[in-house]
Amino acid sequence: MAYAYLFKYIIIGDTGVGKSCLLLQFTDKRFQPVHDLTIGVEFGARMITIDGKQIKLQIWDTAGQESFRSITRSYYRGAAGALLVYDITRRDTFNHLTTWLEDARQHSNSNMVIMLIGNKSDLESRREVKKEEGEAFAREHGLIFMETSAKTASNVEEAFINTAKEIYEKIQEGVFDINNEANGIKIGPQHAATNSTLSGGQGGQQAGGGCC
């Protein structure tokens, strides 16, 4: 499983907004209605293709409760992308976005791409936050925005992939220094064609393996 690039993501946002469910839907294509809550940090990975290039996403799913912030903050460093998630059926989770954003900006590298996600779009009847409000917040703070449903899988692929596209474009523009791992990007071993076949065979045996 050779890749051209590896991007490190973090998923942040209030507790219960569906961070782990988004990750599970993206990596395993399934929805678990009753999910154990995340303590500390969990981890997932998936390969995607952008511009004909294999890109490995290494995704860190963090606990949302306030107490855990002092621990999860250490993961902001070295992330190329962040999914900042709120729940469209809980106004509180939207109101806390500013705090999350400040936290993320303060502890991450300045080029980190942030995707704002209004999750649970399937629960239209319980909606408390209008789509326009999400869009406005994103515009104001220079974020990309999408509403998703981890339950129906609506926009989940797009959210993860569009974030990667944005990072990829930044690489092309030379904004990211890809030789500095603190930016959350690694160049894969694909350039040496013979080597990649060999290492691919080994890395493929284990989930989350590969040379990263």
Partner 1 sequence: MEKANGARTPQQPQHRINVPSTAKERVSSVDPYGFERSNDFDYESYEELMSEYLTVLTKRSIKWSKLLQGKSRLEKNFKVKRYVRKGIPNEHRALIWMEASGSQEQMEKNPGYYHSLLQLQHDPKLVETIRTDLHRTFPDNVQFRKTAEPCLQKPLYNVLLAYGHHNKAVGYCQGMNFIAGYLLIITKDEEKSFWLMEALLSRILPDYYTPAMLGLKTDQEVLGELVKVKVPAVWQVMNEHNVMWTLVVSRWFICLFIDVLPVETVLRIWDCLFYEGSKILFRVALTLIRHNQALISQSRNLPDICDRFKQITRGAFVEDCHPFLQKIFKEPGSLSMATITKLRAACRARIVAEES
Cα(190)–Cα(47) distance, integer angstroms: 14
Give the residue with the Cβ less far from partner 1, 80 or 143. Answer: 80
Residue with tokens 């995707």: 115
Minimum separation from the CB atom of position 208 to partner 1 (A): 4
Q: Which residues, other chains included, contact 143 with Cβ-Cβ below 8 Å and sequence gap of 6+?
A: 84, 114, 115, 116, 137
- Kindly tell me which of 136 and 207 has the beta carbon lying closer to partner 1: 207
DSSP string, 153-167: -TTHHHHHHHHHHHH
Q: How far is the CB of 71 from partner 1 (least distance, A)?
A: 6
User: Shortest Cβ distance from residue 140 to partner 1 (Å)?
Assistant: 27
- Which is closer to partner 1, CB of 42 or CB of 169? 42
Cα angle at 177 between 45 and 160, to 5 degrees? 30
Residue type, 112: M
Q: Which is nearer to partner 1, 172 or 202 (CB)?
A: 202
Give, in degrees to the nearest 5, the angle at Cα 81 between 80 and 85: 155
Cβ distance to partner 1 smaller for residue 61 or 147: 61
- Our CB check for partner 1 shows the closer of 92 and 158 to be 92
Please report how close the Cβ of residue 172 comes to partner 1 at its closest, in angstroms: 26
Residue 210, by phi and psi: left (phi above 0), alpha (psi -120 to 50) or beta? left
Q: Which residues bind partner 1 (CB under 8 A)?
A: 15-16, 34-37, 39-41, 43, 45, 58, 63, 65-68, 70-71, 74, 206-212
- Give min distance, CB of 3 to partner 1, in A: 13
Distances, alpha carbon 18 to alpha carbons 2, 97, 153, in Å: 30, 15, 12
Least distance to partner 1, CB of residue 206, Å: 7
